[in-house]
Amino acid sequence: MWNILSTAHEALLTTVKGVPADGWHRPTPCAEWNVTQVLQHAVGDQLAYASAITGEGGPDFNPFAPSGHVDGDPLTLAENATSATSAAWATIAPDAENVPVPIPPNSVPAWMGAGAAAMDAAVHAWDIAVATGQASPLTPELAAELMPVAQALVEPLRPYGAFAAALDLEDGDDPAAALLRYLGRDPHWTAA
């Protein structure tokens, strides 16, 4: 039912599987965080989306202050979080008007809430991919589906530091580059 969320979760899981053994401490487009910290943040966010719906099982750490240390297998951590989120969203009707989410305004239409969880997973998958030399998992098609969600939710969150200021579009930007720029990311980011 929630194809956008399934696609985004698969992007995150595929990217986590592709992180080389020496890749977990590499810098990312999230300037203050390395790959492990971005993964922790993404996992925490997915658990927060699930918990907003179910009332249980939220992250036991602050996703905005990731430690950079993961106990156990990173892929298992990501799989558990995406499974919890998928299961929670499976209980929501696509036409539901008021679904709880962990971000302001804390209740949104179902399409927007599922899209917000998907955007979080997909964009952090991109962060991890570009930091570890993998192909971008953020396809133009997925990005085009996520842009209306970003446009509906991001602006009120910018003052709180959840998103950087938008970057100007450039000639030749596809929908993925446009989404990344809207979220304050340089689609041509490299660690160098």
52 domain residue, yes or no: yes
pLDDT tens-digit map of 61-108 = 899 999 999 989 999 999 999 999 999 999 999 999 999 999 999 999
180 domain residue, yes or no: no
Single pTM value for the model:
0.96
Determine the structural domain holding residue 123 and report its residue range.
3-141
When pLDDT is cut at 50, 70 and 90, the band that residue 16 belongs to is very high
189 domain residue, yes or no: no
Residue 66 pLDDT:
95
84 domain residue, yes or no: yes
22 domain residue, yes or no: yes
In this prediction, residues 3-24 reach a mean pLDDT of 97
49 domain residue, yes or no: yes
What CATH number is associated with residue 92? Answer: 1.20.120.450
Residue 1 pLDDT:
61
172 domain residue, yes or no: no
Q: How many domains in the chain?
A: 1
162 domain residue, yes or no: no
Residue 185 pLDDT:
96
pLDDT tens-digit map of 126-178 = 999 999 999 999 999 999 999 999 999 999 888 887 888 999 999 999 999 99
3-state secondary structure the chain: CCHHHHHHHHHHHHHHHCCCCCCCCCECCCCCCEHHHHHHHHHHHHHHHHHHHHCCCCCCCCCCCCCCCCCCCHHHHHHHHHHHHHHHHCCCCCCCCCEECCCCCCEECHHHHHHHHHHHHHHHHHHHHHHCCCCCCCCHHHHHHHHHHHHHHCHHHHHHCCCCCCCCCCCCCCHHHHHHHHCCCCCCCCCC
